[in-house]
Chains A and B, each alone.
Chain A
Amino acid sequence: MTPVRIVLADDHTMFREGMASVLASRGDVEVVGQGPHGIAAVDLVERHKPDVVITQVEHHPRRAEEILSAMRSASPKSRIVVLTMFDNLHYVRTLSRLGINAYVHKSSSVEELLATVSALSRNPEGDNVVVSMPRGSLEQIGDGHESALSDRELEVLVLVARGFSNRQVARDLHLSEATVKRHLANIYEKIGVGSRSDAVRTALAEQWIGFHEVVSADSDSPDGSGGRSL
C-alpha cells in the first residue's frame, strides 16, 4: 500500500518533531517535509505535492486565507488539516470557507489526528470537513453565541457601522471614550482585524449585526440629535 505523504507545518519545534516521529512510526504514513508554518510551508507543499498537509494557521483571517490559498494553488489535490489551539466557532467557519478539509484542535489526541488523516486519505474526493474540537465549544452551537463578540461589543459595532465616532458611541451608550476604545481593541483582537471598517465588514458578512440595525435608525444621527434604539 502506498503510504500517505504528509507535509507537517508548525512553529513549535518540539511539538513538530514529536509529531513527525509519531507519524513516521506508522507504516502507512510518510512525512515528506516539515518546518514552520507560513510561506516556508507553502514552499514545502509546492515541492512535495503531499497527499495531506497538516498545518498551523494564522488567527488573522486574511493572513490565513493568503497561506491556505497559496497552498491550494501549489498543490490543488492536497488535503489540508488545520491543527490549531483556537476553538472559536467563528474561526472554524471562516476556515471552512477557505476550503480546509479538517480542523483539529490541539487538545485532540494523536489517535484522533491519525484517524483524521486516514479518513481524508481514504476519501480524497470527499467534501465534508472533519472537525475535532472540545465538546464545550461545540455545545455553544445553537445557543446564539456563534459570534465571538459580547452583546456590548456588538452594540458598539452597530454604532460604528452607522458612522459614529468614539466620542459619539460613548455618549450614546453612556460609556467613557476610553471604554469604547477598549471595546474596539477587544473586537479587533477577537475577530482578527485591524480597523473599524474591517470590523464592520466582518460583522456584517458574518451576520453578527444586520443591515437593518445599521440603516433602520437613520433618524439616529451621529451628532446625537436623534433618538435611537438598538
Chain B
Amino acid sequence: MYREALAFSLREHRSEAEVSLVGSDDLVAEVERTGAHLVVANEVPHAAREAAFWIEVSKARSGESLGAEISADGYSRSVRDFHVKHLLEALDRAEEELVSETASQDEAVTPGPENGGPDEGLR
C-alpha cells in the first residue's frame, strides 16, 4: 500500500513522470531497462545508486515517523519525517539534471547547413 500511495502522489503532482512499480528483486533490471532518473526503495542497491538519483525510505515501523535518505546529484540529506514534498523535490532535481544533460548534448551538436553552419555532425 505504501508504494501505491507514493506512486499515486508522483503521478498526481508530476503527471509527465513515468512511474514503474517493481519488487526489490527486479529493481536493478528495471532501472537499466527504463533508464530511470529516480529510484525510491527501502534499500537502493549499489548499481541503482550509480545509475540514478535515489531515495532510501526507512522500513515502516509503528510509533516512529518514516525517515528517508535522499541523494540527488551531490544534494544529499536525511529527513526524519518523509513528506511527499521531499519526493517531489528529488524528482524535480532529477528533471533539472535531465534538462541540463539534454541542453549540453544540443550544444555539442554543430549546426548543419540548414541552421547556418557547416555540415559536420557531432563534434
Q: How far is the CA of A56 from the CA of B5 in the complex (A)?
A: 16
**Chain B residues in 8 Å Cβ range of A17:** 5, 9, 83-84
Which of B1, B62, B68 interacts with A113 by CB under 8 Å? Answer: B1
Interface string of B80-117 (1 = CB under 8 A from A): 01111011000000000000000000000000000000
Query: In angstroms, how far is the closest chain B Cβ from the Cβ of A156?
Result: 26
Interface string of A108-150 (1 = CB under 8 A from B): 1110010000000000000000000000000000000000000
In the complex, what residue of chain A is closest to B65 when comparing beta carbons? Answer: A11
* Cβ of B4 under 8 Å from chain A: yes
Check A11–B63 contact: CB distance below 8 A: yes
A-B contact count (CB 8 A): 78
Check A14–B4 contact: CB distance below 8 A: no
* Cβ of B66 under 8 Å from chain A: yes
* Given A13-B81, A106-B1, also A25-B8 (CB < 8 A): yes
User: Quick one: which of A1-28 are within 8 Å of B by CB?
Assistant: 11-15, 17-19, 21-22, 25
Q: How far is the CA of A84 from the CA of B81 in the complex (A)?
A: 18
**Chain A residues in 8 Å Cβ range of B1:** 15, 19, 106-110, 113
Query: In angstroms, how far is the closest chain B Cβ from the Cβ of A67?
Result: 13
Interface string of B47-63 (1 = CB under 8 A from A): 00000000001001111
Contact-size category for B: 20 to 34
Q: How far is the CA of A14 from the CA of B57 in the complex (A)?
A: 10
* Cβ of A59 under 8 Å from chain B: yes
* Cβ of B26 under 8 Å from chain A: no
Which of B2, B6, B68 interacts with A106 by CB under 8 Å? Answer: B2
Check A14–B6 contact: CB distance below 8 A: yes
* Cβ of A208 under 8 Å from chain B: no
* Cβ of B12 under 8 Å from chain A: yes
Interface residue count on the A side (C-beta < 8 Å): 23
Check A12–B8 contact: CB distance below 8 A: no
In the complex, what residue of chain B is closest to A112 when comparing beta carbons? Answer: B1
Query: In angstroms, how far is the closest chain A Cβ from the Cβ of B67?
Result: 10
Check A14–B8 contact: CB distance below 8 A: no
Q: How far is the CA of A106 from the CA of B5 in the complex (A)?
A: 11
Leading 10 A-B pairs by shortest Cβ distance = A18-B5, A12-B66, A18-B9, A14-B82, A17-B84, A110-B4, A22-B8, A13-B83, A19-B5, A106-B1
29 CB < 8 A contacts A-B: A11-B62, A12-B66, A13-B65, A13-B82, A14-B9, A14-B57, A15-B1, A15-B5, A17-B5, A17-B9, A18-B2, A18-B5, A18-B6, A18-B8, A21-B5, A21-B9, A21-B84, A22-B5, A22-B8, A25-B8, A25-B12, A59-B62, A84-B62, A85-B60, A86-B62, A106-B2, A106-B60, A110-B4, A113-B1
Question: Which positions in B face A, CB cutoff 8 Å?
Answer: 1-2, 4-6, 8-9, 12, 57, 60-66, 68, 81-84, 86-87
Question: Which positions in A face B, CB cutoff 8 Å?
Answer: 11-15, 17-19, 21-22, 25, 56, 58-59, 84-86, 106-110, 113
Q: A85-B60, A86-B62 are in contact. List 7 more A-B contacts (CB 8 A).
A: A12-B60, A13-B83, A14-B86, A15-B66, A21-B8, A21-B12, A85-B61
